[in-house]
Structure 1
Amino acid sequence: MDQFDNKKNNTQENAGGIFTIKNSLFGIVAILVLIVVSFRITSVIDASNYKAELEKAIVINEFSDHLIEATNYFSLERGVMVIALGSEKAISSNFSTMIKENRSKGVAAYQKAMATFAEMDDFPRKKTLVLEVNENFEAYLDAQGDADRVSLISVVNEQDFDVKSSKSMEKSRSGRKFRRAIEALNSKVHEIRLASEFEANISNARIILYQQLKNSLAEMIEYSDREWTGLGTAISSKKSISENMITTMSSYGGRVNSNWAMVNALLSSSFIDEKLKSYAKIVNVDFFEGLRGLKDEIYDVSYDAAASQDMDSNVVMAEYPVTAAEWIDQANAANKSIQDLNKAVGNSARNAALKSESEANTQMITGIMVLITALLIGISAFWLVVKRITRPLTCLGDTMYEISHGDLDSEILGIDRRDEIGSMARSLQVFKEAAVEKLRHEAEEQKAAEERQIKKERKAIATREEEEKLRQQEEDRERNLRETRQAEMLALADNFESSVMEIVSSVAAASSEMEKNARDMSSVAEETTHQATSVTAASEQTSSNIQTVASAAEELSASVKEISQQIIQSNEYSSNAVSETEKATVEIQGLVEAAQKIGDVISLINDIAEQTNLLALNATIEAARAGEAGKGFAVVASEVKSLASQTATATDEITIQVGSMRDATEKAVSAIAGIQNVIKRIDDTSISISSAMEEQDASTQEIARNVSEVSAGTQEVTSNIHVMSDGAKSTGTAANAVLDSAHNMSAQSAELRLQLEKFLEKIRAA
């Protein structure tokens, strides 16, 4: 008993599956056995079918031989009967005996053939052919009875011409009827024979060749019988052969020759029995060469008799070289060589079928033996696979499973085997010993690894603490940087507010003062106009009111001086406002430059944040590579990356606020430029007013200087008063323009203050 038989199979459940070695080997062996078995079963079935086909061919060959034999006897009976009926004499006893013998043999062969045909497999036209051939056979029997009766009639000694002629015609008519009945029966027999051979669907080429030979030989016998029957009728009646009869018999001879050519062609085949060729030589000698001379002599006698025919006589007698009986004997002897060849062909066909059947039997028996052998080999292969391969492999697999699960005390079987299983067992033994040694090394290495792990964890803790400290320092530095930057921006906003708002307040104050002076100047101008009107009204009383005019002139001069003084002061305020707006513009430009610097600082911070983010990403990758040791560092890198992302977000917000500050600054610059333009227009108006005041002062002085000449120059005074009135109106108009400019400058100052407040709110919010 194999040592593996005593080992219990403990193969783990998860080691099973469809494509195991055992199943694979079983499958391969099963497939090979199945292929061989299928092939041999197919071979046995083919051999069995071929055997059945050959058995059918043997039956058909026997059936065909019986039919050919029957037609030969029927043809011989036909020839003798037709020749006897063609004679004026009654049938001889010799002919009668010959007819009866051939008839009995023909009917017996026919009945055997039809009995065999009834047992053969059915095919579509079988029943129809049986009915038709039976009808032809009944017609043959009917014609046979009539011929037997008429053949006994003799007209040799009949003196009455009409009676003789009537009897001769009856014998001739009966002979034609009998001949046609035999021909119809033979034709239908030939048809049923061909149909049975065709429907059998024989595949053996040699048997098919023999069937073709038999068909050609049977047709040769039929047409040869028809030819010698015609010649025998002429010999029996001692009449010459008519031209129509010669033509008919020539066609019979042609059919005989064509079929003989076919027979020779078939006999030239390489697998034809050599014995058949010897029979063919006999046919050439006995039938063609032996009978040809006699046939030629008969035809010559017939030609001579026809040539010497008396034109006044209806009967031409011919002296043929043989009698009818002699002709029948010689013709039958010649035809017998063809019949012998046909029988030999039938025997060869039967022998070929039997030989092929024997070969089919041998093939079938061989196939069955091979099939049984294949099954035995398959069973042996299954046993061998189980006994020598799968069971030892299963045991080795169990042992491997136990060893792999730590059971190193398991016994390894098959080490002493000298095959592949033994090699595997010895390899497993080496593996087991190596596993034992490995466990010892693993225990030592595990202890060392635990110590290294403790050191590594301590180092990792120290590294994480250091990284946390660095992260906290970085956060403090960034927080201080943000606070410092925010404080600088707030301080910058406060400085800007204190300087620019002071300028704006100065401009607003100057605008208010200008508005007040403009109102005063407008009032003075109105008063001057009113006084000028009064002077004009009183110009008619100039002489009496010179003192009043002088006083008015002095007051007017004083008013003009006051207006000039106010205009000068207004010009100073305008100049101061222009200077302050220019300073505000410079301050705002400085604010723009500071915003640009803030943007540069923000870009730098953003670059630092991106670089920090990249460094954090690299640190994360290195931490991932480091495995467990790099987890703490990976957390720190993740926090740094998050802070870098927050820094980038904050710098983006600051960039947006700085952009808003730039927009507000540009609006402030535009507003201050508008204020400068307004102040310049006020300055130009003040200059115009100053010029008008100078002219008014000159006029007033002229009035004062010429008061003494008022009487003489009343008309000139009146004119000057009109000029002064116009100047006062111009002064009022200029004062109103200054007032409008002051209002406009106040509105621009308010708008500037509003824009500056919004700008400072955004700066402080950032």
Structure 2
Amino acid sequence: MRLLNNMRLMTKLAVPVAIFVAISVGLIALARTGLETMATDTQELVEVDAARLRMLLQLSADVNQATIAEKNILADRVIESRPTYASRYEDEKKITLKDTDALVASAHTPEIRAAYDTLKSLIANYFALADQSVAHGLKGYMDDAAMKISNGEARDVRMKVMGLLNEQVDQSTKALELSTKEAKDLAEWTSLTLIVSAVIGLAAAVMLIGAIVVYGIVRPLSGITEAMARLADGDLTVQVTGSERKDEVGRLARSLQVFKDNAVEARRLAAEQEAENDAKMRRAQMLDQLTRQFEANVSTMTHELSSAASELEGTARLMTGVADRARQQSVGVASAAEQTS
């Protein structure tokens, strides 16, 4: 999460996009691998199993055609036409032996190769006996020696050949059905894997985008919005989180922290100014009180001085009267003294 917080917004959004692209590439690679495997299995199905089944059926038909040609030689009453059947027999024989060699060459496992070698040996034995039957049949109609070989040993060997061919046809048919089922199962598995992988990949990408949007963008922005609202209401105790982030949210948080610090500083300066104004007001009130008290004291002292001056004036008048009387008495005494003398 710390690494996510240090990513820019575009980088955060690019991460799930990159994951989505990686998942898409993985799905494409998985689909391509599955399709290549299906193509390989289908090719093997067509080129190996189906081709082997076709060769077995063709070989069975070849043996039957050679047998029919051999039987026609024995059953033809016209001696002149027997060489024609003999030539047809030789052609069918060559085709059968050629198809047998091709079948043996198509074996892709030791077990199948051993079975095909056994089949080839039986076919060779059959044609060895059939050659003897044809050689006797060219001599006359329903030759006893030819009939004995054809309906005896040659038929027994041919029945073994046909039995082994039918057994191999059954095995090839089952192998073809199994390969078809495996190809179908592979197609279903590939389809299911692609669907599940796509769902899981898309779900993971959506969950990652949701986590990035919720935890990397919405919640931090909600916290910053709430902090801004509280700051706007004057609550300077709010904690601004996310300033350590390196993304756009971190830039907003740091800007909001600066705004908060400035608001705190402004409030501190306002408080200091208010305290200073209060101090000035108190000093002014104190000076006014002192002035009033001084004026009161001066007024009292002036009144007292005025009273004292009045008393002094009265005393002075009294003393003046006394002095006048003393002077008058002195004058009277002096006059009396003069009269006495």
TM tier relative to shorter chain? 0.5 to 0.7
Structure 2 equivalent of residue 296 of structure 1: 131
- 1:471-524 Cα deviation digits (max 9, x unpaired): xxxxxxxxxxxxxxxxxxxxxxxxxxxxxxxxxxxxxxxxxxxxxxxxxxxxxx
Within-5 A mapping of 1:35-184: 36=23, 40=27
1:276 corresponds in structure 2 to 112
Describe the SS at the equivalent of 1:319: helix
User: How far did 1:391 drift?
Assistant: 1.9
Give the CA RMSD over aligned residues. 4.8
Q: How does 1:327-366 map to 2 (within 5 A)?
A: 327-366=154-193
| CA displacement at 1:384 relative to structure 2 | 1.1
Q: Which residue of 2 aligns with 1:215?
A: 54
Q: Can you list the C-alpha shifts for 1:18-67, whole angstroms capped at 9, x where unaligned?
A: xx9657644652563366358648967996x999xx8xxxxxxxxxxxxx
Summarize the alignment of residues 298-317 of structure 1 with structure 2, pairs less than 5 Å apart.
Answer: 298-302=133-137, 305=139, 317=143
1:641-660 counterparts in 2 under 5 A?
none
RCO comparison, higher one (Cα < 8 Å, 6+) = 2
Q: In 2 relative to 1, CA 376–383 (structure 1 residues): closer, same or farther, beyond 3 Å?
A: same
Q: CA deviation at 1:339?
A: 2.8
Return 5+ residue gaps in structure 1 as ranges: 1-19, 55-200, 307-314, 444-766
- Say whether 1:432 aligns with 2:272: no
Aligned ranges 1:446-525 → 2 under 5 Å: none
CA contact (8 A) 1:43 1:364 kept: no
2:63 is aligned, of 218, 221, 224, to 224
1:296 positional shift: 2.7
* Structure 2 contact 55–103 (Cα < 8 Å) conserved: yes
Amino acid in structure 1 at the alignment position of 2:114: S
Give secondary structure in 1 for the equivalent of 2:241. Answer: coil
Normalising by structure 2, what TM-score? 0.57
| Distance change in 2, residues 1:352/1:221 (3 Å) | same
Match of 1:286 among 100, 106, 122: 122
TM-score norm. by structure 1 comes to: 0.28
Q: CA deviation at 1:321?
A: 5.7
Tell whether the 8 Å contact from 1:29 to 1:378 is kept in structure 2 after alignment.
Answer: yes
- 1:383 correspondence with 2:210: yes
2:156 and 2:219 map into 1 onto residues whose CA distance is 91
1:316 & 1:204 partners in 2: Cα distance? 51
Q: One-letter code of the match for 1:301?
A: H
TM-aligned CA deviation for residue 381 of structure 1 = 0.7
> How much has 1:250 moved relative to structure 2?
1.5
- Contact 1:239–1:302 at 8 Å: present in 2 too? no
Q: Quote the Cα distance in structure 1 between the aligned partners of 2:93 and 2:151.
A: 22
Match of 2:101 in 1: 261
| Structure 1 Cα separation of the partners of residues 115 and 186 of structure 2 | 27
Q: Residues 278 and 350 (structure 1 numbering): CA distance in 2 closer, same or farther, change over 3 Å?
A: farther
Between the aligned partners of 2:16 and 2:143, the Cα distance in structure 1 is 93
Change over 3 Å in CA distance of 1:301–1:317 after alignment to 2? closer
1:235 to 74, 77, 80: 74
Displacement, 1:286?
Answer: 2.1
Per-residue CA distance 1:206-239 (angstroms, 9 max, x = gap)? 1012112222222222222111112123334588
Q: Which residue of 2 aligns with 1:658?
A: none
Q: Within the alignment, does 1:369 sit opposite 2:196 as a pair?
A: yes
Distance 1:337 1:230, change over 3 A: same
Equivalent residue in structure 2 for 1:319, among 145, 155, 160: 145
Structure 2, unaligned stretches of length 5 or more?
1-6, 270-341
The code of the aligned residue for 2:174 comes to N
Kindly, what percent of the aligned residue pairs are identical? 5
Query: Relative to 1, partners in 2 of residues 1:21 and 1:316: Cα closer, same or farther, differing over 3 Å?
Result: closer
Check 1:356–1:434 CA distance in 2 against 1; reply closer, same or farther (3 A cut). same
Aligned counterparts of 1:216 and 1:398: Cα–Cα separation in 2: 81
Aligned letter for 2:20?
V
Give the structure 2 partner of residue 205 of structure 1.
43
Distance of aligned partners of 1:411 and 1:382 in 2 relative to their CA distance in 1, 3 Å threshold: same
Q: 2:240 matched to 1:412?
A: yes
Within-5 A mapping of 1:529-540 = none
Single out whichever of 428-437 and 380-389 deviates more from structure 2: 428-437
> 2: distance between equivalents of 1:357 and 1:401?
63
Q: Given residue 295 of structure 1, which amino acid in structure 2 is its aligned partner?
A: A
SS at 1:412's partner residue? coil
Deviation at residue 255 of structure 1 after TM alignment? 1.6
Q: In 1, distance between residues paired with 2:78 and 2:143? A: 5
Seen in structure 2, the aligned counterparts of structure 1 residues 408 and 27 have a Cα distance that, compared at 3 Å, is farther
- Residue 211 of structure 2 aligns to a residue in which SS? helix
Paired with 2:208 and 2:17, the residues of 1 have a C-alpha distance of 9
In the TM superposition, what is the alpha-carbon distance from 1:281 to its structure 2 partner?
Answer: 2.4
Matched length: 254
Taking the aligned partners of 1:317 and 1:217, their CA distance within structure 2 comes to 32
